[in-house]
Structure 1
Amino acid sequence: GSLVNFIPLTSSFFNICNLSLCGLPFLSGFYSKDLILEFMSMSYMNFYIYFIFYISTGLTVMYTFRLLYYTMLGDLNSISYFSMQDSSEVMLKGMGGLIFLVIFGGGVMSWLVFPTPYMICLPMMMKLMVLLTIILGAMLGYLISSIGLNDFSKTMSFYNLSFFFSSMWNLNYLSTFGVTYYFLMFGEKYNTLIDQGWSEYYGSQNIYMSMKRISIFTQKIFLNNLKIFLTLFLIWVCMLFV
């Protein structure tokens, strides 16, 4: 949430593209979505297909507004991504060029593709159905985003009963747990007493400690006793010739 405070330009492009996907008037998605729905309204379709088309449009707007709410307006929940910023000029220039197609592409393409305007004759309410569906989907998306269903959860009142049913009526204690318990206990004892216990002491750890002690002792000999012996030998040679 609150990404608009950290990446404002990218968030603006993201919101414009989402609103175009919803079919907001005069964006590129509006022309295709509005034309498809109005063409469906003029066709001889049964009520089920007609209803599904409008429901799918409303659900698209609803989850898009929920996405905008949770990413742009909600609380900040991404501490590990706190260093996000609009730093890549190449990406910003690319998105800036594409955003013009999102805003003007639908109108320009509809003017260039169709030589004459497509004649659609519908009643006033059916003409406004697309706009009303978009507005209703946005309102439902915002309302669902504001509702916390966890506050009304009653599962804790039946915790023991739900735990009993989730444990398959205690079958796990009779089958799985009863069969694997002794093997797991034996493995734990073997790991503690043998693998990490006497075997570790007399095995790799003891060998390491023995080699370490021998190395320290040998190092002391080479650093001290041999040095003293050579010094005394040099003094003896000097006294011999003097």
Structure 2
Amino acid sequence: MNLFFISSFVLTSLALISLTFSNFLILNNLSIFLEYKFYGVNSADLVMVLLLDWKSTIFLSTVMFISGMVIFYSSSYMAGDLNSVRFLFLVILFVLSMVLMIISPNLVSILLGWDGLGLISYCLVIFYQNVKSYNAGMLTILSNRVGDAAILLAIAWMLNYGGWNFYFYLDYASKDVLMSYIGGLVILAGMTKSAQVPFSAWLPAAMAAPTPVSALVHSSTLVTAGVYLLIRFSPLLANTNLFSVLMLLGVLTMFVSGLGANFEYDLKKIIALSTLSQLGLMMCILGAGFSNLAFFHLLAHAFFKSMLFLCAGILIHSFGDMQDIRFMGNSVKFMPLTCSIFNVANLALCGLPFLTGFYSKDLILEINLLSNLNVLGFFLCYVSTGLTVCYSVRIFYWSFISEFNFLTLINLHDEDWVMIMGMISLFVMSVLGGASLIWLMVPVMATVYLPFYLKTLVLGVILAGAGLGVLVNYLYLSVSSRSQLKFLSFLGGIWFLPHLATYGVNGGVLFAGFKFKKILDLGWTEELLVLNMGVNLRKLMTFIQVIHMNNLKVYMLVFVSWIFLVFMILI
């Protein structure tokens, strides 16, 4: 327990230091490069470069603050687990990998942090060591390996420039054809890590990890790494066709995941699909060329999403490790504090005015109206925003308002002060974080001028989404026919992406393996090749061994025979 508290205190202190330093960098308009030379051979130097600018330091403070609160929360949540110390070390390594990735302007050192995130996320997803965890872990790590391979290829292409510190020559290289190939590979890597369509299946599957890990992964570490990398590469890729494709895929991810969350009943999976929807929004605005806005939403989203997962963890604990929202009705009477915090996080996610989510989401949607977004992108973007409110209302209804459907003999209550304190710290940031960030990142007042009907469009979409959320609940309850249920399962299953990512990839390989086993291992091939060859080789080896272990006469006979053979050939 002491280890948890010490780690939490150290991370929170580092977060405050990093935040203060980021303010200093913003005020003085500074970027600091730190170089450490390991050794040099002739003209080749092995140098490690670290970049400290306002983006990296403010992101570091967010990651460390959320990590500190999650570790503090975990000291109580994981108290009964036999492997709690292993869990703590894995989380700390996870955070360190993210830190290395954030402060690296070098593609090789980014790969170290990137691969660290992938490997440790696998260890955390399989933490509970059951079949479901192993399957989810394999899906997670294999999906992420696609992105790792893309970064390795980008490193190989970047040898043409004589160095891997891409930050030094992004502006120059943006006019080079080779750099567009590198940009395409980086976009592929960012899409896999941030689970954009068609790599979306692993994100809900990763819910097999302990809930504190989900809070960390879905707020500020693993899934945001792809967005952050693309933000770093945005000077190179802005106003290119690659970013236009990324914008379309981001909007599609938003829509698919928002629709899927409305037909899901697993509490953690609903919040995971919500994360996927917000990542799609970040990719959409990043593809439109507004990288600072995407970064702003990334930071704002981290606070309330981590809080949502921590509240979900308390609900799951109280209901005896049960995650189905249909059993969680009327819990507001038993757990008023948790439910209040949960609802504030939900409202921040919906973009309710003056909570954290409002400042970034409202600005993104208004900027989308000003940018040259096509009709399809505009429609999907706003409908997805409505769907966010729709599934938030649905969670609120099933978890807190509907009738209590669980066991009658169960003790529901708010958890101990350790969990509550971790949540309250994030609760404060979910209320004040958006305003603080916009004062920090946009010190000069900027106004978005739009007609009245477009200004109120976002509010109208929010209200329409709330009404739709009520309708969806009654629609699903009244469905009876099998064909309708199939259609709803299609909508709720991220459009068959989990099946395509599992059976679609593994099915062919497993079937081919079965065929090979049938032909080679169980057929005549094994009889003819393996068994007969094995018998004959054993006989030959026995004969040779007899010769080897026999007396000198045999050796002399062999020697004379060789000499006789040589003379015969020469004559």
| 2:351 aligned residue (20, 23, 32) | 23
Per the TM alignment, residue 128 of structure 1 is displaced from its structure 2 partner at its CA by: 0.6
Structure 2 runs not aligned, ≥5 long: 1-328, 484-571
1:88 aligned onto 2:390: no
Structure-2 residue corresponding to 1:101: 429
Matches within 5 A, 1:179-194: none
1:140 correspondence with 2:468 = yes
The normalised TM-score by structure 1 is 0.60
Shift of 1:77: 1.4
Which AA in structure 2 matches 1:137? G
Residues 4-15 of structure 1: matches in 2 within 5 Å? 4-15=332-343
Aligned residue in 2 for 1:126: 454
Change (3 A) 1:151 1:52: closer
Which has a greater percent of helix? 1
Give how far 1:45 is off. 1.3
After TM superposition, give the deviation of residue 70 of structure 1 in Å: 0.4
Task: Tell me the secondary structure at the aligned position of residue 121 of structure 1.
Answer: coil
- Partner of 2:404: helix, strand, or coil? coil
DSSP-derived class of the 2:435 partner? helix
Cα displacement (A) at 1:149? 4.4
Inter-CA distance 43–148: structure 2 relative to 1 (3 Å threshold): closer
- Match runs of 1:154-233 below 5 Å: none
Q: Percent identity?
A: 43
**Could you say if the C-alpha distance between residues 115 and 87 of structure 1 is closer, same or farther in structure 2, counting changes exceeding 3 Å?**
closer
Flag the structure with larger Rg. 1
SS of residue matched to 1:78: coil
Give 2:400's aligned residue.
72
1:37 aligns with 2:365: yes
Compared CA separation, residues 115 and 2, structure 1 to 2 (3 A): same
- 1:63 pairs with 2:391: yes
Q: Give the distance between the partners of 1:37 and 1:4, measured in 2 at CA.
A: 33
Deviation for aligned residue 1:118: 2.3
Letter of the aligned partner of 2:431 in structure 1? I
Q: 1:88 to 1:55 in 2, by over 3 A?
A: same
Q: For 1:111 and 1:90, how far apart are their aligned partners in 2?
A: 31
- Which secondary structure state, in structure 1, belongs to the residue aligned with residue 363 of structure 2? helix
SS at match of 2:446: coil
Letter in 2 for 1:71: S
Distance change in 2, residues 1:75/1:88 (3 Å): same
What is the CA distance between 1:89 and its match in structure 2? 0.6
Q: Deviations for 1:67-101, whole angstroms, at most 9, x for unmatched residues?
A: 10000100111217821211311011111121111
Deviation at 1:108, TM superposition (A): 1.4
Query: Distance between the aligned counterparts of 2:346 and 2:417, measured in 1?
Result: 22
Instruction: Go from structure 1 to structure 2 and tell me whether the alpha carbon gap of 1:55 and 1:90 turns closer, same or farther (over 3 Å shift).
Output: same
RMSD: 1.9
In structure 2, how many angstroms separate the alpha carbons of the residues matched to 1:140 and 1:63?
Answer: 9
Q: Post-superposition shift, 1:60?
A: 0.7
CA deviation after TM superposition for structure 1 residue 63, in Å: 0.7
| CA distance in structure 1 between the partners assigned to 2:390 and 2:469 by the alignment | 4
Calculate the TM-score normalised by the size of structure 2: 0.26
Which residue identity does 1:113 align to in structure 2?
M
2:445 to 114, 117, 121: 117
Alpha-carbon shift at residue 154 of structure 1 (Å): 8.9
For the residues of structure 2 that align with 1:17 and 1:87, how far apart are their CA atoms?
Answer: 18
Distance 1:100 1:83, change over 3 A: same
Cα distance change of structure 1 residues 154 and 95 upon mapping to structure 2, 3 Å threshold: closer
Deviation, 1:44, is 1.1
Q: Name 1:3's counterpart in structure 2.
A: 331
In the alignment, what sits opposite 1:226? none
Residue 153 of structure 1: how far off its partner (Å): 4.6
> What is the aligned partner in structure 1 of residue 379 from structure 2?
51
Structure 1 CA distance for aligned equivalents of residues 473 and 445 of structure 2: 40
SS at match of 1:45: coil
Letter matched to residue 142 of structure 1: V
Q: 1:49 to 1:154 in 2, by over 3 A?
A: closer
Gaps of 5+ in 1: 156-242
- Distance across 2 between alignment mates of 1:53 and 1:154: 31
User: Structure 1 pair 141/116, CA: closer, same or farther in 2 (3 Å)?
Assistant: same
Task: Measure how far apart 1:148 and its partner are.
Answer: 5.3
Q: Counterpart of 1:127 in structure 2: which amino acid?
A: K
The runs of at least 4 aligned residues of structure 1 exceeding 2 Å deviation read 146-155
* 32-41 vs 90-99, which moves further: 90-99
Quick one: distance in 1 between partners of 2:360 and 2:392? 18
**Rounded Cα–Cα distance in structure 2 between residues aligned with 1:81 and 1:15:** 26
Deviation at 1:3, TM superposition (A): 0.9
What residue is the counterpart of 2:518 in the other structure? Answer: none
Flag the structure with more relative contact order, 1 or 2, with Cα contacts below 8 A and sequence separation at least 6: 1
Deviation at 1:105, TM superposition (A): 0.8
Moved more, 59-68 or 145-154: 145-154
- Distance in 1, matches of 2:385 and 2:355, equals 16
SS at match of 2:405: coil
